[in-house]
A = this chain, B = another copy of it.
Amino acid sequence: MISCREDVTKMILSAKVRKGIKWRDVTEATGLSKEWTTAACLGQMTLTKPQAEAVGKIFELSDEAIAWLQIVPYKGSLPTAVPTDPLIYRWYELVNVYGTTIKELIHEEFGDGIMSAIDFSMDIQRTEDPKGDRVNVVLSGKFLPYKSY
């Protein structure tokens, strides 16, 4: 009995290691970005029926698991409020160190409002650099203004 999306995420992660699947292989099957596809496999996004079936085929999931991939999950991928994993912590640190800076600069440019985390996309790329390759990330979020009413 599968009773939450997390059960399916565990099946996917288990199959991924057991069968040596790469996220880029999954991306080819869905025809979507590697960021969105991976997030969906990790239980953060909702797949359409064809997407879920494509993912299910790769990871050899049961029909029940494939059905769960089409259900909106309870989101949030981290086990603690402050992440302990060093790679993810660095992102938390950016938010902590630069948080007020980001806030000030977006407000100076756009006024009061937020950068959407829903109407949003992310692109992670490797950039070669003689001093050590870099991770380049482009985040794009619609600005949503607060308005008086």
Contact = CB atoms under 8 A, between A and B. Distances in A.
A104 B94 CA distance: 19
A78 B64 contact: no
Contact of A118 (B18, B103, B109, B114): B114
Nearest to A121: B149
Interface residues of A, number: 104
B99 A83 contact: yes
Given A1-B14, A45-B148, A46-B112, A95 B95 contact: yes
A101 B139 contact: no
Given A104-B42, A115-B90, A95 B81 contact: no
A2 B10 CA distance: 8
A123 B82 CA distance: 25
Given A46-B112, A129-B142, A102 B88 contact: yes
A67 to B, nearest CB: 5
Nearest to A133: B143
Nearest to A51: B148
Contacts of A105: 23, 34-35, 38, 124
